[in-house]
Amino acid sequence: MSEVERLRLLPWVGVDGRRCYLSTDADGSGYVARLADEVEAVQLALGARLVERASEVLGVQGRGVRARPNELRCLAYGLVEALRDALRIAESRAARRGDS
């Protein structure tokens, strides 16, 4: 009996902005699956750094710094992208656990 193949939601989108999936076996240990794991780790680390920076800029921890509107706009854009990545990662991991 062969192992069941499943689709894994990858942590990136295609050129057209559509979701990318990987057809993988049950253990998901192939090259692209390992690459996806590494990309997820980088995306989550970047998100954590953006949260720290936002806390500094907004004065959540300590006194905060005076930020220009352009800096706030860039920070907000980065946070939106980081949240989008984190949600995609969470959805992918939940599906692999069978929680979807």
* pTM of the model as a whole: 0.82
**Average pLDDT, stretch 10-31?**
88
Other Cβ atoms less than 10 A from the Cβ of 8: the count is: 19
Reply yes or no on whether the pLDDT at 79 is more than 70. yes
Query: In this predicted structure, which of 25-34, 49-58, 66-75 has the lowest mean pLDDT?
Result: 25-34
Q: Cα dist. 8→1, 19, 56 in Å?
A: 21, 10, 36
pLDDT in tens, 26-37: 677 889 999 999
Q: What is the mean pLDDT of the chain?
A: 86
